Chain A
Amino acid sequence: MATNRTGSQRANGAPQTKVCQFKLVLLGESAVGKSSLVLRFVKGQFHEYQESTIGAAFLTQTLCLDDTTVKFEIWDTAGQERYHSLAPMYYRGAQAAIVVYDITNQDTFGRAKNWVKELQRQASPSIVIALAGNKSDLAAKRMVEFDEAQAYADENGLLFMETSAKTAMNVNDIFLAIANKLPRNETGGAAGAGGARRLADGEQPRSSACCNRAPPRAASDTRSGAGDASGRGVRGLRSSLRKAGFTRALVVSQAV
């Protein structure tokens, strides 16, 4: 798959673009909709009976903004936060975090504030934090006021949006807002310090994953099996990008 992609890219003679990879982590109380937000963003899907997260290391989603390809490596908690047992490794080296609460549940907002504190204390000082008030489609059962959350976000320098994984409202937009706030310079996004590497059978230093890799094409890269739903996700994201003024934007989804 990788070979095909690179091949077609070269054949097209598309211009070289800068590729920045960012680690983005999701935090928040169980059942606020963390996995649902990712699933909506990466695949354009929503499951009414989304089970607690199992089986995925992390997912990647690539946005091409003008001359830059922003690749999100999206980490979900795997349920480790349930008994307050999340490992610090989880947010180590993360350049962005989305802290999620459920607007119909006041406790989850309190917990979200604790996560913000924890990130400010432990994570990289330059981390971009977004607060997401999820399940905005359930406004009738609202327990957390928009203005209260907005004021809290302003005080703490957080991006803030109310989202719905169910209706897709603001889901793409919040990721996009983060992408816009992240530094997109040459070194931006190269997680880890110089010379560090991940290990793999076909060994390659980690940093090479950041640069020089041509952005893949949307249609050919959608995972087989993800089907139509994924296509919808891509289209939805395209329209948000257009709204945000990115005319040449291209979206590619990939699950790991």
Chain B
Amino acid sequence: MDEEYDAIVLGTGLKECIISGMLSVSGKKVLHIDRNKYYGGESASITPLEELFAKFNAPAPDETYGRGRDWNVDLIPKFLMANGLLVKLLIHTGVTRYLEFKSIEGSYVYKGGKISKVPVDQKEALASDLMGMFEKRRFRNFLIYVQDFQEEDAKTWKDFDPSTANMQSLYEKFGLDRNTQDFTGHALALYLDDNYLQQPAIQTIQRIKLYSDSLARYGKSPYLYPMYGLGELPQGFARLSAIYGGTYMLDKPIDEIVIGEGGKVIGVRSGTEVAKCKQVYCDPSYVPDKVRKKGQVIRCICLLDHPINNTKEALSTQIIIPQKQVGRNSDIYVSVVSYTHQVAAKGWFIAMVSTTVETKDPETEIKPGLDLLGSIRQKFVSVTDYYEPIDDGSQSQIFISESYDATTHFETTCLDVLKIYKRGTGEEFDFSKVKVELGEEDQ
């Protein structure tokens, strides 16, 4: 450890592992440390099942849960958008060859106490029970507009300037009612709240395009999920970093981030050992005095021995409960994965209900989500603060990631990573630096 590095990365959560990989690939000498003896930090998948029960101080699981080691339970629920940034990062870095994925079978939205499939193309829109006859027509026209929309080609804008006009006015142009706006903004564009209505419409159009392009890739839903759980993702990027020379140390407590002249970081101390460095990249838990609380997220892990009602027995699903449907300011998300992803013993399902906390009683807030699940065999609730850095790190050369937010996919995660990389290195990440020699399986 007593050596000098270009960068020391603290924590092996997904963001830190991607950053570590990018730095190593760019030729930096990287030391990557975690205080835990496993990879993933908050983005780990817990295994065996006994470990999960112990973590939440519950009595050990009985034999009906099958073999404990068949379980890999995520602490933070997220899916990958098939055409999203994380998939691009995985493919460009070659990390995709360490992992295997399955499509999420269905994507649903909640309306008036029940769930319906999210309509994504014209055909589904016309068959959907979310809208009345005339509304379907209007929604169909709106979808066609979005599909044909090209940012570079003003002709496709149809007398509407989406870079200045806001989304509310685009909805009005097509005469869409509140309900349709709700599932469009929340189940297709995947916004957490309604602030987007006042923002330029182009952002929402691009998000809907991401949704439909992702859907076009593999069919049933726009989402992908890795076999053995999300914890495989940080491990994959850690291997990338190691392959490009990064040094890994788990189970290594960090006692001090050593600051030198001018408030600039010069190293990291563990016990009596000090590793010197020019920069530190870390998650908020390593620098409690350099982050501020931005809010709270509640996540409830539910173990079920059956699929969710009205999802055609799907082995995986996402259900979005738009804020307005239940009188809230932020959406409630339900994600379901199961034994088919090697994250649970045969016959078992893991549902996660999560949202941004708005009241003093967060458990009551997620009740509409829990009510959709049917009987729940075991429930683990956690309420966690999420943090953002108080500065951009340019002075201290300590670059801090934001905690994982309540979104159900990795787009904000990747944007944060790319921003941090740019702040730390002064340049955009150059994907061409990774020399991916395609293997036979990729040809």
Which residues of A pack against B, CB within 8 Å? Answer: 1-2, 21, 53-58, 60, 71, 73, 78-80, 82-85, 87-90, 92, 122, 191-193, 195-203, 206, 209, 254-256
Contact = CB atoms under 8 A, between A and B. Distances in A.
Nearest to B1: A83
Contacts of B91: 199-201
Nearest to A77: B242
B282 interface: no
Contact of B244 (A55, A88, A197): A55
A194 B152 CA distance: 41
Nearest to B69: A122
B169 to A, nearest CB: 37
Contacts of A197: 100-102
B412 interface: no
Interface of B: 39, 69, 87, 90-91, 94, 96-102, 217-218, 224, 227-228, 232, 235-236, 238-239, 242-245, 247-252, 340, 342, 437, 439-443
Contacts of B239: 78, 80, 87, 89-90
B342 A198 contact: no
27 contacts: A54-B244, A73-B441, A82-B247, A83-B247, A83-B248, A83-B252, A85-B248, A85-B250, A88-B39, A88-B235, A89-B232, A122-B69, A191-B100, A192-B100, A193-B340, A195-B340, A196-B227, A198-B96, A198-B101, A199-B91, A199-B99, A199-B224, A206-B441, A209-B440, A209-B441, A254-B440, A256-B437
A195 B248 contact: no
Nearest to B34: A85
A198 B440 contact: no
Contacts of A192: 100, 227
A252 to B, nearest CB: 10
B391 to A, nearest CB: 31
Nearest to B217: A203
Contacts, number: 111
B100 A206 contact: yes
Which 8 A-B residue pairings sit nearest by Cβ, starting from the closest?
A: A87-B235, A89-B235, A256-B439, A78-B242, A196-B100, A85-B248, A2-B443, A85-B250
Given A87-B238, A88-B235, A196 B102 contact: yes
Nearest to B225: A196
B96 A196 contact: no
Contacts of A83: 247-250, 252
Given A80-B242, A198-B99, 19 more contacts: A54-B244, A55-B243, A60-B439, A79-B248, A82-B247, A83-B250, A83-B252, A85-B248, A89-B98, A92-B228, A191-B100, A195-B340, A196-B101, A198-B97, A199-B90, A199-B224, A200-B442, A203-B218, A256-B97
B440 to A, nearest CB: 6
Nearest to A86: B248
B242 A79 contact: yes
Contacts of A56: 243
B443 A78 contact: no
A137 to B, nearest CB: 29
A21 B100 CA distance: 15
Contacts of B99: 89, 198-199
Contacts of B245: 54
> Which residue, of A53, A80, A197, has the highest number of chain B Cβ atoms within 10 A?
A80
Contacts of B244: 54-55
Contacts of A57: 94, 97-98, 243, 439
A44 B354 CA distance: 54
A150 B439 CA distance: 36
Contacts of A199: 87, 90-91, 96, 99, 101, 224
Contacts of A84: 250-251
A149 B251 CA distance: 31
Nearest to B315: A195
B131 to A, nearest CB: 32
B440 A193 contact: no
A133 B342 CA distance: 34
B233 to A, nearest CB: 9
A225 to B, nearest CB: 12
A201 B100 CA distance: 14
A59 to B, nearest CB: 9
A73 to B, nearest CB: 8
A174 to B, nearest CB: 23
A54 B243 contact: yes
B237 to A, nearest CB: 10
A64 B22 CA distance: 38
A198 B69 contact: no
Contacts of B97: 57-58, 198, 256
A114 to B, nearest CB: 15
Contacts of B90: 199
Contacts of A254: 439-440
